Structure 1
Amino acid sequence: MKTFPTIETERLILRQLRPEDSVDLYNYFSKDEVTEFYDLDSFTELQQAESLIRIFNDRFITQQGIRWGITLKTEDKVIGTCGFHNWSKKHFKAEIGYELSPEYWGIGVMTEVLREVINFGYKELELNRIEAFTYPDNIKSRKLLEKSGLSEEGYLKKYYYVKQRFVDAVIFSIIKEEVTNDERSKN
């Protein structure tokens, strides 16, 4: 995949992040409620957002992942990101990650995004397994993953060292055949 793909949903456009999106990312990554369950501290400088955009875009160039900026169709403002990292072509799997500006929480934006990104992973990246890691206390993320078809596989004790402490993680996954079987059972 040489060209960064754009995904359109009913309300949203998922597109490649641009340097000028750094202000939007900074605005929500500087909020503690966004970074509470993230492996980053809250941003204090615009350069941190600029660096994160470069990291996301470099992962696409090196084929290690893909991260879309989430924008409303009515406004080209980045309200969050979603995509794949830890992409292993050899093992046909990747880890999905996301975050969203708090003013858009609870209205189904990320559910809409995950549906399309997961489908993209299976169809375009030829993934067989999509997994996600979340903190045990991140109830909203756990519910979102379950609503999006991922199943909890296990509890990983002291799995990460983040923000000067060891933290547990819960792993979720969805396998391609599970999605295919779900689609068949609906027909």
Structure 2
Amino acid sequence: MQLMKNYSMKIEINKSVFERFPKLESERLLFRNILLSDSKDLYLIESNEAVLKYMDKHKMESIRDSEKYIRSCRASYKNGNSIEWGIIEKSSNSFIGYFGFWRIIKEHCRAEIGYSLSPNYWGKGYMTESLKKMLAFGFNKLRLHSIEANVNPNNNKSIKLLEMIGFKKEAYFRENFLFDDKFIDTITYSLLERDLKDSLDTTV
């Protein structure tokens, strides 16, 4: 009797996405790598008090800070540790924000997302449009199993956005994050591919 060999498919992320930066597109927006020429626009976003209110990080002090961040994004992508896109409004060709998988945990096929948008473009549904496209890429191309987002409990707009897309509350951590000599609570949301809302555009 011939024994059948046990073939099992190895579960892992798709590393080929780190060979050439993936450009994405939605109805109103383009998503591309963040360029040094975006440094001024990025600085204006990351030094805005309204943007940083619940992000629990220090504001950028100069364009040099944004240039340093852009270079770190490039290096992290090259090493397969993150993918961050600049958000470009098609109608004006303006850099209006950024988003991405800023921490990819390869061994668990999981990634943490982050996002930021200029206040001049709030209320237009741009971040919803952006995240839907990114999540489709994460599950369909990068082959993630789960995606997480960590949010300040007082950031009601971000919480509403995550829940609308389909993220589920996974944990509430009490005073687990130290910022400016103050311990802050954090809510962790997560999304599995099977959790996706029917309205989510799964095309890339």
Alignment TM class, shorter chain as reference: over 0.9
Q: Aligned residue for 2:193?
A: 176
| Selected match of 1:27 from 44, 51, 55 | 44
Per the alignment, residue 121 of structure 1 pairs with 138
Instruction: Select the residue among 119, 122, 126 that pairs with 1:102.
Output: 119
TM-fit CA distance, 1:39: 3.8
Q: CA deviation at 1:167?
A: 0.9
- Structure 2 unpaired stretches of 5+: 1-16, 199-204
- The higher radius of gyration belongs to 2
Compute the displacement of 1:164 (Å): 2.7
In the superposition, the TM-score normalised over structure 1's length comes to 0.92
How far 1:74 moved relative to its partner?
2.0
CA–CA distance in 1 between the matches of 2:123 and 2:56? Answer: 22
SS in 2 for 1:75: coil
Match of 2:171 among 154, 170, 187: 154
TM-score, normalised to structure 2, is 0.85
How far the C-alpha of 1:139 sits from its partner, in A, is 0.3
**Secondary structure of the residue that 1:90 maps to in structure 2?**
helix
Identity %: 36
Name the count of aligned residue pairs.
182
Provide the alpha-carbon RMSD of the alignment.
Answer: 1.4
- Assess if the C-alpha contact under 8 Å between 1:133 and 1:170 holds in 2: yes
Spell out, residue by residue over 1:4-55, the C-alpha distance to the aligned partner (whole angstroms, 9 max, x if none): 0111000000000000100000111111111122243222211111111112
2:97 to 80, 88, 94: 80
2:167–2:195 CA contact under 8 A, matched in 1: no
Deviations 1:36-83 (A, max 9, x none): 222432222111111111122221111001000001112332111110
Task: Work out which of the residue numbers 44, 60, 71 in structure 1 matches 2:77.
Answer: 60
Which of 1 and 2 has higher RCO (CA within 8 Å, sep 6+)? Answer: 2
1:87 and 1:96 map into 2 onto residues whose CA distance is 9
1:132 and 2:143 correspond: no
CA distance in 2, matches of 1:76, 1:24: 12
